[in-house]
Each structure stands twice: as structure tokens, then as C-alpha cells.
Structure 1
């Protein structure tokens, strides 16, 4: 099986929505990393202190066939058409270990769909 990794950088208030939407179309879970970053807009300042929005990096390790529907679900739920809401991109994954239980679950779904 081939795997890919979707990385989505989103504002923290959007994280749960994109994870839920991704699960609805086939993602089995996500890893969420708290981060901060800069974008095209300058950070706001208040009395000389920089106020940066907290960001979450959401990682989805997916079987290749689920990438497009999950990416679309993330785009819709995260309202990525709005400026400054987030970005997502896909990377190829060379090797994976520790996914055996999820691979078995997928095989069961495929078997069940044929019968």
C-alpha cells in the first residue's frame, strides 16, 4: 500500500472542524502540533509586543486513495477560500511502520463492500 501525508496549517479554532470532516470521508485520525508562524500580513502589535495567532499543524497519514476526498473535505471545512484561514499540501511517504491495524481495517471495509 502507498501512503501520503497531508499537512494542514490552520488557525486553532478551525482544527476540530477539519479533523471531523476528514474523518467523515475516510481519515482514521490526525496528529496535531501547536505552532506559530508568519504570513503575508504583518503581526499585530500592542504596546510594542507582537501578537501572533496560534496555529495548528494537522498531519493526516493516509492511504493514497483517500487523499483527494480528505483534502477536499479539509478545504471545505476550513474555508480555505477565505484569506488567512490556512493552507494544506500533500507529501509522498516513502515507508510506514505501525499502521498494520489500520491496513487490516481498510481490507475489511473493501471485503465488506464487495459482498
Structure 2
């Protein structure tokens, strides 16, 4: 099997929707990390204090054949077309171990979608 990691940084308001949509599109799980980001736009301040946007970083380890569908689901459900709502990207995984519990689900999904 070939895997990709999808990293999605989304606003907290959309986190549950993104996770649900990704799972419907074929993701079998997610790791959630709290993150802070800084982009090209100036930080907002309130009474001289910087207001940093908190984002949740969602890590999905997915089978390569599902990655485009999952990315599309993340884009739509996280409203990533709107400025400031986050970003998502993926990269190829060279090796993954410890996935014994997920392999049967991934194989079943591959058979149902492609054979």
C-alpha cells in the first residue's frame, strides 16, 4: 500500500466538520495538535496585545488512492476557499508501521471503490 500524510490547519469552528467529512471521504483516523500560525497578513491587536489565530492541526495518514477525495472534503468542509480559514497539503510517506488495525478497512474500501 502507498500512503500520504495530509496536514490540515483549520479554524477551531470547522474542526469537527473537517474530521467528519474526511472520514466520510475515506480517512480512517486523525491526530489533532494545537497550533499557532502567522501569515502574510498583519496580526490583529486589541489594546496593544497581539491576537494570534489558534488553529488545530489535523494529521491524516491515508491510502494514496483516497487522498484527492479527502483533500477535497477538507477544502469544502473547512471553507478553505475563504481567506484566513486555514490550509491543507499532503506529502508521500516513504514507510508506515503500526497500521495493522487499519489495513482491513483500507483493503475493503479499495475493493469497493476500484474493483
TM-score (norm 2): 0.91
**Counterpart contact for 2:63–2:106, Cα < 8 Å:** no
**For this pair of structures, how many residues does the alignment match?**
115
Other-structure match for 2:65: 65
In the alignment, structure 1 segments of 5+ residues that lack a partner are none
Separation in structure 1 between the aligned mates of residue 37 and residue 99 of structure 2, nearest angstrom: 31
Q: Provide the alpha-carbon RMSD of the alignment.
A: 1.8
Counterpart mapping for 1:7-26 below 5 A: 7-26=7-26
Secondary structure of the residue aligned to 1:100 is coil
Deviation of 1:15 (Å): 1.0
Deviation of 1:20 (Å): 0.5
- 1:15-59 deviations in whole A, cap 9, x for unaligned? 111110001111111111101011121111122211111111111
Counterpart mapping for 1:9-88 below 5 A: 9-88=9-88
**CA gap 1:76/1:98 in 2 versus in 1, 3 angstroms:** same
In the alignment, structure 2 segments of 5+ residues that lack a partner are none
Separation in structure 2 between the aligned mates of residue 79 and residue 58 of structure 1, nearest angstrom: 15
Separation in structure 2 between the aligned mates of residue 31 and residue 19 of structure 1, nearest angstrom: 10
TM-score (norm 1): 0.91
Instruction: List structure 1 segments (4+ residues) > 2 angstroms apart after TM superposition.
Output: 105-114
